[in-house]
Amino acid sequence: MLSQGFVSAAAIAASVLFILSLGGLSNQEKAKRAVWYGIIGMAVAVFFTAFGPGIGGYWLMIPMIIIGAIIGTRLARRVEMTEMPQLVAALHSFVGLAAVFVAWSADLERRRVLAARAADGVMQDFSAFAALLAHKAPDELMFLQVEVVLGIFIGAVTFTGSVVAFGKLAGKIDGKPRQLPGGHLLNAGAAVLSLLLAILYLNGAGFWTLLLLAGLAFFIGYHLIMGIGGADMPVVVSMLNSYSGWAAAAIGFTLSNDLLIVTGALVGSSGAILSYIMCKAMNRNFVNVILGGFGGSTGPAAEIEGEQVAIDANGVASALNDAESVIIVPGYGMAVAQAQSAVSDLVRKLRAAGKEVRFAIHPVAGRLPGHMNVLLAEAKVPYDIVLEMDEINDDFASTDVVIVIGSNDIVNPAAQEDPNSPIAGMPVLKVWEAKQVFISKRGQGTGYSGIENPLFYKDNSRMFYGDARESLNALLPMVD
> Can you spell out the DSSP letters for 49-96?
HHTSTT---HHHHHHHHHHHHHHHHHHHHH--GGGHHHHHHHHHHHHH
Whole-number pLDDT of residue 134: 67
How confident is the chain (480 residues) per 10-residue block, as mean pLDDT? 78 90 78 89 88 78 90 83 78 91 89 74 60 70 87 94 87 78 86 95 91 96 83 77 89 84 90 81 68 53 78 94 95 87 94 94 80 85 91 95 90 86 84 95 70 89 92 90
| Residue 200 within any structural domain of the chain | yes
Domain boundary among 78, 112, 131: 78
Range of the domain at 358: 313-478
Looking at the structure, tell me whether residues 227 and 128 fall in a common domain: yes
459 classed as catalytic: no
Helix (H) or strand (E) holding 404: strand 401-405
- Answer yes or no: do 177 and 280 share one domain: yes
| Nearest by Cα to 395 from 409, 385, 381 | 385
End-of-domain residue from the set 78, 107, 128: 78
Domain co-membership, 285 together with 318: no
Strand, coil or helix: what is 357?
strand
- Read off the CATH number of the domain in which 437 is found: 3.40.50.1220
Instruction: Decide if 251 contacts 151 (C-beta within 8 A).
Output: yes
Do 294 and 285 meet the contact criterion of CB atoms below 8 Å apart?
yes
181: in domain: yes
CB 184 within 8 A of CB 136: no
Are both 341 and 435 inside the same structural domain? yes
Q: Are residues 348 and 245 in the same domain?
A: no
What is the predicted pLDDT for the residue at 294?
Answer: 47
Catalytic site residue from 120, 174, 384, 409: 409
Contacts of 150 (CB under 8 A, 6+ apart): 250
Would 240 be classed as within a structural domain?
yes
Sorted by sequence, the CB contacts under 8 Å of residue 45 that are 6+ apart come out as 10, 11, 14, 259, 263
Same domain for 203 and 321, yes or no, is no
Q: How many domains does the chain have?
A: 3
**Domain C-terminal end among 27, 51, 78:** 78
- β-pairing, 401-405 with 436-441? parallel
Q: Let me know if residue 302 belongs to a domain.
A: no
Predicted local distance difference test score (pLDDT) of residue 475: 92
- Residue length, the chain? 480
Please check whether residue 33 lies inside any domain of the structure: yes
What does the DSSP assignment read for 90-127? HHHHHHHHHHHHHHHHHHHHHHHHHHHHHHTS---S--
Q: Is 386 helix (H, G, I), strand (E, B) or coil?
A: strand
Q: Is the same domain home to 51 and 92?
A: no
pLDDT confidence of residue 300: 62
Statement to judge: residues 184 and 120 lie in one domain = yes
Residue 125 pLDDT:
58
87 CB-side CA count, 13 A: 14
What contacts 350, CB < 8 A, 6 or more positions away? 320, 326, 357, 479
Domain-embedded: residue 324: yes
pLDDT for the residue numbered 449: 62
Question: Roughly what angle, to the nearest 10 degrees, separates helices 84-119 and 208-226?
Answer: 160
Q: Is residue 305 part of a domain?
A: no
